[in-house]
A and B are shown apart, each in its own frame.
Chain A
Amino acid sequence: MLGFTSAVGLAAGAAATGSALVGLYIGVHAYRGLRRNDDPSMRYLSAGMILLFGVTYVIALAGQGLITLRVVPVRYQNVFRLLVRLLQLTGLVTIAYSLHVAARN
């Protein structure tokens, strides 16, 4: 049973890493789109993707690491969750705003 739990945990971690990498790939190309085409909507799309996938991934991973290593008490787990959710929300709002900037152009 422990083996199954570990495998699922590992798969979840791999999927999270994959999401972060693909999200950052899009974010980097959006940033290049900003540089190449001077397109302001790409600034917000890029920032949103990096917040949504890159920053949240690092915060979630760091939080989990700190709690596992008992550097941070386990009761702070929800604080990290809240932080990740808030960053996800900010990222999504930024991406939604980039759509409006694109529509204005």
Chain B
Amino acid sequence: MNSRASPRPFTPGAVRAPPAESKLFPARMTDDAVSEDADLADVVALLDDEHVRSILVATSAEPLSAKELGERCDLSVSSIYRRVDELREFGLLEERTRPRRDGHHETVYVSAFDRFELAIQNGELDWTVARASGDVADELSRMWGNF
């Protein structure tokens, strides 16, 4: 079974290009909730990083801590944090808390990325980054833990 709920358009934190009259690349986030503008070049530059893609792939399967991500992507924890911060700025990675066996809690990251689409049709360029909904299993774990 696909672990992800069906994708929803990238609303809070939506990255969607404006209509074609914007000419080429000055695509901006349309949602007011996102303070920082994102343009296509930023998103493409972010996804061009092999390690960013590895982080998204790994965290789409299961929540992972920075240390675990470092081991999987063969990167230092500080390099992971830098990429995690960038991804979180774009709303493509979410932070969660997970109980550890020793009774403490640790921060883990879950991918919120679903797909990136670029369409050029009839003289119009349109691009969208779609976010995936939160995973039901993670919500259940969190809710049960808060009981």
- Residues of A in contact with B (beta carbons under 8 Å apart): 26, 28-33, 35-39, 41-42, 45, 98-99, 102-105
Contacts and interface: CB of A to CB of B under 8 A. Distances in A.
Contact of A105 (B103, B108, B137, B140): B103
B46 to A, nearest CB: 25
Given A36-B62, A36-B135, A37-B98, A105 B3 contact: no
A35 B1 CA distance: 13
Contact of B137 (A36, A98, A99, A103): A36
B138 interface: yes
18 contacts: A29-B136, A30-B137, A30-B144, A33-B137, A33-B140, A35-B137, A37-B62, A38-B98, A39-B141, A39-B145, A41-B141, A42-B144, A45-B144, A102-B145, A102-B147, A103-B147, A104-B103, A105-B99
Interface string B95-117: 00011000100001000000000
Contacts of B1: 28
Contacts of A103: 147
Size bin of chain B's contact surface: 10 to 19
B138 A33 contact: yes
Interface of B: 1, 3, 61-63, 98-99, 103, 108, 135-138, 140-141, 144-145, 147
Contacts, number: 60
B27 to A, nearest CB: 34
Given A41-B141, A42-B144, A45-B140, 11 more contacts: A29-B136, A30-B137, A33-B144, A36-B3, A36-B63, A36-B138, A37-B138, A37-B141, A39-B98, A39-B99, A105-B103
Nearest to A42: B141
A94 to B, nearest CB: 13
Given A37-B63, A37-B98, A29 B140 contact: yes
B145 A32 contact: no
A49 to B, nearest CB: 10
Report which residue of A39, A41, A45, A98 has the largest number of chain B beta carbons within 10 angstroms of its beta carbon.
Answer: A39
A33 B108 CA distance: 14
Report which residue of A28, A37, A98, A102 has the largest number of chain B beta carbons within 10 angstroms of its beta carbon.
Answer: A37
